[in-house]
Amino acid sequence: DADVTQTPRNRITKTGKRIMLECSQTKGHDRMYWYRQDPGLGLRLIYYSFDVKDINKGEISDGYSVSRQAQAKFSLSLESAIPNQTALYFCATSDGKGAWYNEQFFGPGTRLTVL
């Protein structure tokens, strides 16, 4: 079984709808991240969380919100989806113990299309 899972893998929705993307991990990591990938722009950080009570905005948080329900679960919500939120979304985890530059482990991604 995959260590970092994302659901759904694909989603098509309409402008104005509320969407939730879910991420679960079995790696026991305390740090979790949400990124979006757009062609030619690489990955950009939306939100990150270093433990259940710690949530921080990334570089492109406008229009998004998150919830850290447990150490293993980190959800990303689009309260009112718009077409320019069409992208590939990745969840990632890392182990906050020890070095701060520990490797990040990525889920398989969720492809979201907003019509």
| Residues forming the site for another protein (CB under 8 A) | 4, 31, 33, 40-45, 48, 50, 58, 90, 92, 94, 96, 100-109
In whole angstroms, the minimum distance from the beta carbon of 66 to another protein comes to 15
In whole angstroms, the minimum distance from the beta carbon of 45 to another protein comes to 6
Q: Which of 92, 114, 89 is nearest to 103 (CA)?
A: 92
Task: Please tell me the distance from the alpha carbon of residue 21 to that of residue 76, in angstroms, as a whole number.
Answer: 5
Cβ distance to another protein smaller for residue 104 or 113: 104
In the chain, how long is the greatest CA-to-CA distance? 44
User: Are 35 and 46 contacting, i.e. CB atoms less than 8 angstroms apart?
Assistant: yes
Cβ distance to another protein smaller for residue 26 or 80: 26
In whole angstroms, the minimum distance from the beta carbon of 108 to another protein comes to 5
Query: For 25, what's the count of Cα atoms within 13 Å in the CB-facing half-sphere?
Result: 28
